[in-house]
Amino acid sequence: MTDKKFHLLIETQARAGELITSHGTVPTPVFLPVGSQATVKTLTPDEISGIGYKMILANNYHLYLRPGIEVIKKLGGLHKFMSWEGAILTDSGGFQVFSLAPLRKVTDDGVMFRSHIDGSQHFLTPELAVEYQEALGSDVMMVLDECAPHDAGREKVAEAMHRTHRWAARCREAQKSENQSLYGIVQGGIYSDLRKQSVNFLKELDFEGYAIGGLSVGEPKDIMYSILAETAAQLPVEKPRYLMGVGSPEDIVEGVARGIDIFDCVLPTRVARNGALFTWNGRVNIRNAGYAQQTGPVMPGCGCYTCTHFSAAYLHHLFNAGELLAYRLATLHNLTFMHSLVKKVRESTIDGTFSGFYEEFLQNYRTTDEEIRLSQKQKWLKAREAKEKAE
């Protein structure tokens, strides 16, 4: 590989660093807005960069199915295709294959699956996962992995982990581009010994960064935090650490406290479109009647476009009227909140006050009740599955 692609500036309870890419330097810790299909839903690239984001996530699975890798390559690559000048991390699509595809068959060669869009059959191998991401031109690529369900049982989790390792080695061998980083993905479910085994195997392949996959997929948060802390502590200090698919405000703070550098999640944008807005005291539902006549913004002191231009009563009205502007304004607010949160986390890490910030944030922030959270997640997963099958 060429020059070093990650500079660790602070290594204490929490970490602060810089991710070096061909499309700019990204300060860490960092939260990546999710633009699976080459768009962060409801917002333009200029609005995303205007908030302060320098990196987003896109998804190989979705872009492969629609509009197609060759289309994007012919039009100049993913950055030009979506008019985004910042950095891009692409997921290999492995998680989507296992969570969205209605029919699939997994072997050591790869995974045969049917598209959730039109039922067409496709075959994805580790080599193709890398080839497609190199064609997209993303700054950070992910290996193809198999993520077992959290309740699959130890034997199934171990089987998926070993296949992930074999695929990771093939991805590493298939990598051609020196300008794009390739990250390995640690699997092993909720089993500490499997996680340790996975870390040790992947470290031998010397990836540019390491992701932790297979968490926040239905297990209780206390278990997730415990496994996260054990796993992160075993990863190379000098390489970036990426917690995949996790991004509620409390998880960002807890993740940084356990040594994580990169986060991504659809949660902030998805809940925004359902009327849930983040504040420093927790998530609020703008649809509630109590906001019908609130003259001030939903979060006083917030500098986002939404809070500086509109009252909570106006947002309440837009959601109740089903106006499309509601989704845009709520998304602008939530992504601004997430960016502000990560910025505060980074600043407190650099000036040595993270411990105090951590305690204050968790004391003031009301999290969603654990049973309600798990119930809501299961309902969402079932609704998504039903929607994909219907399409």
Residue 386 covered by a domain: no
Closest CA to 107 of 125, 82, 121, 132: 125
The catalytic residues are 91, 264
Residue 391 covered by a domain: no
Do 69 and 209 fall within a single domain?
Answer: yes
What is the CATH classification number for the domain harbouring 142? Answer: 3.20.20.105
Residue 380 covered by a domain: no
Do 277 and 262 fall within a single domain?
Answer: no
pLDDT score for 2: 41
Residue 222 covered by a domain: yes
Do 297 and 310 fall within a single domain?
Answer: yes
Residue 382 covered by a domain: no
Last residue of a domain, one of 238, 269, 300: 269
Last residue of a domain, one of 249, 269, 289: 269
pLDDT per residue rounded down to tens, the chain (391 residues): 446 899 999 888 799 999 999 999 999 999 999 999 999 999 999 999 999 999 999 999 999 999 999 999 999 999 999 999 999 999 999 999 888 877 899 999 999 999 989 999 999 999 999 999 999 999 999 999 999 988 899 999 999 999 999 999 999 999 999 999 999 999 999 999 999 999 999 999 999 999 999 999 999 999 999 999 999 999 999 999 999 999 999 999 999 999 999 999 999 999 999 999 999 999 999 999 999 999 999 999 999 999 999 999 999 999 999 999 999 999 999 999 999 999 999 999 999 999 999 999 999 999 976 655 556 555 555 655 564 444 3
- For 368, the domain range is 272-372
Do 185 and 330 fall within a single domain?
Answer: no
How far is 328 from 307, CA to CA, in rounded Å? 13
pLDDT score for 391: 38
Residue 377 covered by a domain: no
Do 291 and 258 fall within a single domain?
Answer: no
User: How many domains is the chain partitioned into structurally?
Assistant: 2
Do 260 and 295 fall within a single domain?
Answer: no
Do 211 and 278 fall within a single domain?
Answer: no
Residue 230 covered by a domain: yes
Do 193 and 60 fall within a single domain?
Answer: yes
Do 263 and 276 fall within a single domain?
Answer: no
Do 246 and 360 fall within a single domain?
Answer: no
Do 101 and 209 fall within a single domain?
Answer: yes
